[in-house]
Amino acid sequence: MGAYGLQTHIWNNNWKTVLLMAGFPVLLLLLTYALFLLFAGLTGTYYGNDPMTGYFMWAGDALAQAWPYAIAGAILWFGIAYAFYQNIIDAATGARKVERIAEPKLYNLLENLCISRGLTMPALRIMETDALNAFATGLHKGNYCITVTRGLMNTLNDEELEAVLAHELTHIRNADVRLLIIAVIFVGIFSFVGEITFRSLRWGVPSGGGSSRRSSGSSRDSGGGAIIAIVVALAIIAIAYALAIVIRFALSRRREYLADAGAVELTKNPDAMITALQKISGNSVVESAPSEVREMFIENPHSDFASLFATHPPIAKRIEALSKFAGGRVPAPQAQIPQAPSPRDPSKRGPWG
């Protein structure tokens, strides 16, 4: 399978990271304009004598004055998230950092993998939950981290646990982790703004109290222009939010196949990866984790229509790939062993003796 060595995947991730960084200001300005337009439509604030275009002119003028603050606010958001994302994830998942003295087996398994490839040892964290899952975080060398659940440690044997650690280590090596963290931060801004906007609309926003700087024309024309402005603003906000979602799901599900293959390359044991996935399947849900963090998990099951918004491929397909391309053996389902009849209680003999 040899997927870890697929340099094009790493280049592709780096290219997507640059694209996210470059495209984000455009989306942000578009969203800011939509918010001004929505405000203008709701409050009846516009320029000129033509309300059909006056709302758009007022929103454009407001954007011209406010864009530096919008960019500065987004940079501040990104800076805070960059500095504290691990603390935020720990607070959301309840994960805590562990050292060798506390979890020697887990620490040694990861350390051996890192030594074998000359990699810097990531930090280790544990989530105290019975669910079976794991994920990696980090933006650059020196602050990478791998988090596993207590249920995973208690259920998987050493070889399977090593395979999961190798899977997460491959995400770090392939730059998947950095791309996901940046995407989560950016998408979080649009999600926050979109949610605040629609919550405000649901609870009601004062309308008609604004002021026009020039003639406002007839109330009928003004009302029609306001409705158009509101509809256009909501459409832009919805498009910006949809693009953010597309970015989230455009982070290919292929990365999981590659990480599985990378784990096999590191451990030389496809069977362990297969049985680990079998044990994780159906037992991976961490209810307390936010959806943004679950996207980084080794398994994130979806039940929506046709799995259109799935962030992970089905485990059955991942096992099939490991079997077909990595030479793994899928254990046969264990046959139901008929239970031997319990020894008859001599005190309860039948009439036949």
Mean pLDDT of 49-59: 80
Residue 178 pLDDT class (50, 70, 90 cuts): confident
In the block, residue with structure tokens 């602050």: 143
pLDDT, tens only, 79-105: 887 788 888 888 888 899 999 999 999
Q: How far is CA 126 from the centre of its chain?
A: 19
110 neighbors 86 (Cβ within 8 angstroms): no
In the predicted model, is pLDDT for residue 244 greater than 90?
A: no
159 is catalytic: no
For the chain, the domains span: 6-92+179-203+226-250, 96-176+254-326
What long-range pairs does 110-113 form, CB within 8 A, spacing at least 24? Answer: 110/146, 110/165, 110/169, 112/162, 113/162, 113/165, 113/166, 113/169, 113/266, 113/267
Measured N-to-C along each axis, helices 51-93 and 7-43 cross at an angle, to the nearest 10 degrees, of: 130
Tell me what pLDDT residue 168 has. Answer: 94
In the predicted model, is pLDDT for residue 31 greater than 90?
A: no
Query: Which member of 99, 111, 162, 168 is catalytic?
Result: 168
Cα–Cα distance, 104 to 73 (Å, whole number): 43
Cα–Cα distance, 36 to 230 (Å, whole number): 10
**Domain 96-176+254-326 belongs to what topology?**
Zincin-like (3.30.2010)
Q: What percent of the chain has pLDDT over 90?
A: 21
Q: For residue 249, give the amino acid letter.
A: F
Q: Which of 24-33, 77-86, 102-111, 243-252 has the lowest mean pLDDT?
A: 243-252
pLDDT, tens only, 296-310: 899 887 655 555 567
Tell me what pLDDT residue 353 has. Answer: 34
Residue 214 pLDDT class (50, 70, 90 cuts): very low
With CA atoms as reference, report the closest residue to 133 among 102, 94, 104, 88.
94
Instruction: Give the predicted TM-score (pTM) of the model.
Output: 0.73
